[in-house]
Structure 1
């Protein structure tokens, strides 16, 4: 996973919507890396571990891999593991960092607005419980990726759209926390499949193989394939190809990339093979799909 961050301007009209996205990003922090990298962010967002930080916004941070530590005034010190969601509150002192021996992969969104304030006022979220352990979930990762995609281009009217994604993300985290309060036991195989789908989604534009995914999950390829198909209804290789088709559709509709560039990004052998496979799965060629469904037309 590469690194991305963006700090966004907002208008009075955006603020009237009730929830505005202020910043978004993701990245992988390697082992024994100085965290955070202060040169990458505006002054108001920088902090040193010794002093910590106080923001004037909410942030929702998802740790999809690795481990670390979090501390805040009301929440105290909490050990962070993969699948943790950290909610930062405006005006609340906090600090966090990955462990040197593991590093971590993180996604985050920063936001403000009366809708968020109302959720806190009615005790849906509390400063005393700023961390939720949802497990590694591809649906959470997909929401962050959708927000990133929408903010790359900042098309007209994007703020209400991404604020809706943020609200959905908050709702999902809240729902999962309630489910876990009723039942703290997760099926090992279901969690394995969730981790696998998350890894596949994160690596849709890399040359990762199914065997490598199984190796990362410390399970034999044959057992991994059997378990994955049992719980998802599809073989992992076919699932990865479907993700590539979904990603190709998005790139065709919302970017100006050439078909051969998309084929290269998604690691198809050639533009010809990509176009042939795309038509087999969708019934139309990539060019026809772009012409028929692009919002520009």
Structure 2
């Protein structure tokens, strides 16, 4: 079984969508330059992809790669139909190697670094998309495919935006269904909830005096414990992250305001302007005055 990973940050562009009733034209090879997701509404559908033959039952989904040859290889005895949607994801899907590593061992959820406000890392949760799948929530997916078909037949206003919404919901339902069927747990660990509470608190009050006592009182836990939790999920210590938040705000004020260095230091919760300059240079590689000068010239 093939599996594909799609970044949570992917941009999806729906090209075409339709419900197709199997007829004589299905028995010649088809190609298209986009990914194509099909879902069988009436089955079976006898699908050949390159040299591999499949019998898809009603409710099954199948993902075709760009330019992958496909056709029908046998005529069904009764009615046979499927919905299809062609789309392009940016970045493209990444095929996962399951020959040496079982799919259940892939780390695909909860990319913690995305929680940090000071980072622009591309680290992101991944949606796991199976090549072939029979989701338990197939009727919900069929409803979205019907909506895709309607939007394509009667394009009005921001119909392309709505097409993308329906596709994303289909992929989310399939991915969640796959997780629930194949992974032992998809819930967040208790420490992650503590981590999220810490981040929310720091984001709101980083400009105040966040002593150990203040943090302990807010979290109702020892500072040592919350420090370990924060380091586990963020990869840095609490003091360093608070410094990052303060300097992030200082950079904005240096460029967008006429406040003095001393006033900016106080604004972000640092009374000593010399200490502020020291921290700023450690994180940005230059003193705040130089940063202001460089960025003022670019405006």
TM-score clears 0.5: no
> Rg bigger for which structure?
2
TM-score normalized by the length of structure 2:
0.42
Q: Report which structure shows greater RCO (CA 8 Å, sep ≥6).
A: 2
